[in-house]
Amino acid sequence: MKSVGEICSDLIRFDTTNPGSGERPAAEYVATLLADAGIQPTVFESAPGRTTVVARIEGDSPDALLIHGHLDVVPADPAEWQLHPFSGEITDGCVYGRGAVDMKGSCSMTIATALDLAARGVRPKRDVVLAFLADEEATGDYGSRYAVTSHRSLFDGVTEAISESGGFSVTSGNERIYPVAVGERGTSWMKVTAHGVAGHGSRPPVDNPVATLAHALSRVASYQWPVRLTPAVAALIEDLAEITGQPIDLDRLDAEAARLGSLGSLFKAQMRNSANPTMLNAGYKVNVVPSTAEAHIDGRYLPGLQEEFLSTIDELLGPKITREFVNLEEAPSAPYPSSFFDEMAASLVAEDPQARPVPYVMSGGTDAKSFARIGIKGYGFAPLMLRPDLDYFGMFHGKDERVPVEGLEFGVKVLTRLLTGSN
């Protein structure tokens, strides 16, 4: 049976860059591993090459848990990497390559756990649905959104789900903090357009849409969004104060986040909404004022704050700018405190007695948004024990992405405890 490190390495060697040729080869690899272990996979495509694998492992209760991950990755320029991003090379105790953290490493932990349970003939305490999805790095139209609409029955009985961006260790002194995500910010990707009067570039401006758009984007980029502490973020800050033994001043949270370093990064981007201009398009000739100018904005908002976010955006853009959504997704949240959160926490502590699990809200988004549409409560829990010097957040979409093999092995042990209840 392949080790978790070998599975991760194999998955990275499949170039599943999105946009690209699709996830089909990686999906077939996953389906073959599961089938050879006696776990029957369902493989389907939303478009040629855009392939998803779903399988169900029967447990002692039909009240099912979903473990989902995505097989696609963002682009990587080999010239910027020490090792080729699709080599999957294992060196210095780490698996290197695009997707090592986001999120083929997590997928490999799920696969290795499932294969081990099957090899030992161990039934989980509840049904477990495994989903290896296409297209998370875009909108999910070819992956999770398609899965929950066209293959809804595969998720019957699922009440909770776990996936990426939670359960990793952050070292502080002699303690390891493990943030477990109980929610994530909503997504508001927008195309904004300024309309004006076309004319010769040498003449005095009448209503230049490029200038109008530039001023509007400057207002958006420089706006200081107010702090809005959601219950989960407030609970995180309270826990961090207790763990560190130092009070955290709620009236100066930006300074406190900087003081706390890696611990501060757990709430720095999660205590307010945000909007970043990311793309620009205007004009076709240097001496022609165009009639329109366009830009894209990546907006993120906290649970319950969509209306406040959009009204602020409209005010910042001004009356001459129109906007349309490229992608609008709710900000999902999962119950906390909850018995299932306690189960995840107990599984971590059982494998790492120094573990201090805390609630956490993701700054970005995941496929949990799609599953929330069908009533599945999603948590971020892909357990990893990381080296203190490894910049976990910097690995996401960054160069020289890598994950420790020992960390993956730790994750398999934690997942096994969670699924079997052997804490």
Beta carbons of 68 and 131 less than 8 angstroms apart: yes
Does 388 or 4 have the greater pLDDT score? 4
pLDDT of 390: 86
Q: Edge-to-edge strands of the sheet including 90-91?
A: 90-91, 94-96, 402-404
Task: Pull the structure tokens for residue 350.
Answer: 């059982």
- Residue by residue, DSSP assigns 347-390 as HHHHH-TTEEEEEEEESS--THHHHHTTT-EEEE---B---TT-
Q: How confident is the model at residue 172 (pLDDT cuts 50, 70, 90)?
A: confident
**In the predicted model, what is the mean pLDDT of the chain?**
96
The pLDDT of 15-25, averaged and rounded, is 97
What domains can you pick out in the chain, each with its CATH number? 4-171+332-420 (3.40.630.10), 184-329 (3.30.70.360)
Q: How far is CA 388 from CA 177, 194, 391, in A?
A: 11, 47, 8
Q: How confident is the model at residue 263 (pLDDT cuts 50, 70, 90)?
A: very high
> Minimum mean pLDDT among 172-176, 231-235, 325-329, 336-340: which range?
172-176
Beta carbons of 388 and 170 less than 8 angstroms apart: no
Residue 364, pLDDT > 90, answer no
State the DSSP code for 155.
G
Length of the chain: 423
Vertex 62 angle, CA 51 and 121, to 5°: 80
Residue 204, pLDDT > 90, answer no
Q: What are phi and psi of 6, to 5 degrees?
A: -65, -40
Beta carbons of 147 and 370 less than 8 angstroms apart: yes
pLDDT of 380: 97
Q: Which of 419, 238, 413, 231 is nearest to 340 (CA)?
A: 419
Kindly give the pairing relationship between strand 90-91 and strand 170-172: unpaired
Beta carbons of 317 and 220 less than 8 angstroms apart: yes
Q: Give the tens place of pLDDT for each residue, 147-160.
A: 999 999 999 999 99
Q: Give the tens place of pLDDT for each residue, 73-118.
A: 999 999 999 999 999 999 999 999 999 999 999 999 999 999 999 9
Q: Edge-to-edge strands of the sheet including 292-301?
A: 274-282, 292-301, 186-195, 321-329
Q: Give the tens place of pLDDT for each residue, 373-413.
A: 999 999 999 999 998 888 887 888 889 999 999 999 999 99
d(CA 59, CA 82): 44
**Tokens 């599953």 found at:** 371
d(CA 348, CA 417): 9
| Amino acid at site 392 | Y
Vertex 235 angle, CA 304 and 260, to 5°: 110
Residue 286, pLDDT > 80, answer yes
pLDDT of 169: 95
Find the largest Cα–Cα distance for the chain: 79
Beta carbons of 294 and 282 less than 8 angstroms apart: yes
| Amino acid at site 276 | N
Q: How confident is the model at residue 423 (pLDDT cuts 50, 70, 90)?
A: low
Q: What are phi and psi of 288, to 5 degrees?
A: -125, 125
Please state at what angle helix 339-351 crosses helix 405-420, rounded to 10 degrees: 130
The pLDDT of 306-332, averaged and rounded, is 96
